[in-house]
Structure 1
Amino acid sequence: MFIVDRVGDAVSGGEQVDGAVRVLRSETKLQKLDFWIRYSDYLAFELLTEAEAGRLDREWAVAEAALLVETEVPDLRRYPMARYLRGAYERKDNALALLKYHGHLATHRQAASVLHPNARRDFYLLAKGECAVQTLRAEIPAVRWYDEQATRVASFAARLSGGQCKDRQYNNSVYRATPQGATIPSIRPQVQEWLERLRLATPA
């Protein structure tokens, strides 16, 4: 829900799902965003990439990246993902079924057409889900971390397609070299070294 709320688009007229307030288009993008939320070190890598390219405020991005890799992540938030043919992937049917049951989220499969030859699964945050997100954000500190992660991801990924997110993840050599079916390893030491280089290069 936090992913769709922070990264999804506002729903306009003509959408397929009644009561929807935001939509995230494509399961590929959902999978890639979920990976960045779970892997703080890869998220930090992307923030530093954006900062060096001048697409994010450098001071903010460096501070956020440092927070992500220099703070120990509780075991509660460690959800490793395996690499498959199209990158990081995990079946989300059980989680989606629960959210659908409570009226928080809905999905809609866009059929293939001449203009769009591949079928696409879209994810809609419903009004009840939006209320749930606001309640979780305000009243349950333990889950605010996920909301903060989704906000960081949105800073650069909101404008990207699912395919572009996938390409960015494959640009990382450690991610790309992970054998299919194997758990994607951490890159925390590499990101920490990058942070130190940036700090040394930045005037006090």
Structure 2
Amino acid sequence: MVRTQVRIQKLDFWLRNPDYLADELLTEYEKSGEGPLLELAGSILDSEEPEVRRYPMLRHHFGAYEPLDDALAVLRSAGLVASRRRGTINRVRQHDYFLLAAGREVARKMIREAPVFQYYVERTRLVLALADGLGGSQLKKRQYLQREYAQAARGERIGSVSARARARLEKLRAQAVIHG
């Protein structure tokens, strides 16, 4: 289950933008000094993943946004996911999203039959670990710390941070060698 549409939008942004995900891993590395974070960021940025796997999102009123209703309608009609809106008739306060048992089974079957999709399972786990304990608004504030994200014009695609993140990675690797 994922609570709130804001949270799912922000998690989706990191999943669809490996360069931003890697840059966040570098931020976590700077805070903690945990080598595996630097290695994870490096595995993303040393590859073509930020270019090949990138699926840009539009900058909306409150950051990265993609209408979910159409995409979820297909899954909902097949009995794979469910969503629940909380609030009043006039004002929806919160959207909650649920992966149903049938959805879990279809996902498992897809991974068995097409192992290439394991990538998404692994990246989703990484995104969830990075966002652990953070609500949608906290994730939104964190994403707005990125200049390219914050300065994107409303209705425009949010630009890549690949070049900046790769330069940052090299700088942190050099520092790790000096201090290591």
TM-score, normalization: structure 2?
Answer: 0.90
Counterpart residue identity of residue 119, structure 1: R
Is 1:35 matched up with 2:13?
yes
Q: 1:133: how far off?
A: 2.1
Structure 2 unmatched runs, 5+: none
* 1:197 corresponding residue in structure 2: 171
**2:18–2:50: 8 Å Cα contact kept in structure 1?**
no
Residue 53 of structure 1 aligns to a residue whose secondary structure is helix
Q: Give the structure with the higher percent helix.
A: 2
Task: Tell me whether 1:47 sits opposite 2:47 in the alignment.
Answer: no
Question: 1:151: how far off?
Answer: 1.2
* Matches for 1:40-79 after TM superposition, within 5 Å: 40-54=18-32, 58-73=34-49, 77-79=53-55
Alignment map for 1:52-201 (pairs within 5 Å): 52-54=30-32, 58-73=34-49, 77-111=53-87, 119-201=93-175
CA contact (8 A) 2:81 2:103 kept: yes
| Per-residue deviation, 1:202 | 1.0
The one-letter amino acid paired with 2:146 is: N
Give deviations 1:28-66, integer Å, cap 9, x for gaps.
111111110010000011111112111xx7221111111
Aligned residues with identical type, % of pairs: 37
Which amino acid letter does the alignment assign opposite residue 42 of structure 2?
Answer: A
Shift of 1:95: 1.4
Q: Which AA in structure 2 matches 1:165?
A: L
Alignment partners' CA distance in 1, 2:76 and 2:93: 21
Distance 2:14 2:174 in 1: 27
Once residues 160 and 188 of structure 1 are traced to their aligned partners in structure 2, the CA distance between those partners, rounded to angstroms, is: 24
Shift in Å, 1:195: 0.7
Where does structure 1 lack aligned partners over 5 or more consecutive residues?
1-22
- CA shift in 2, pair 1:69/1:148, >3 Å: same
What is the rounded CA distance, in whole Å, between the counterparts of 1:26 and 1:79 in structure 2?
A: 22
Corresponding residue of 1:11: none
Q: Tell me the TM-score normalized by structure 1.
A: 0.80
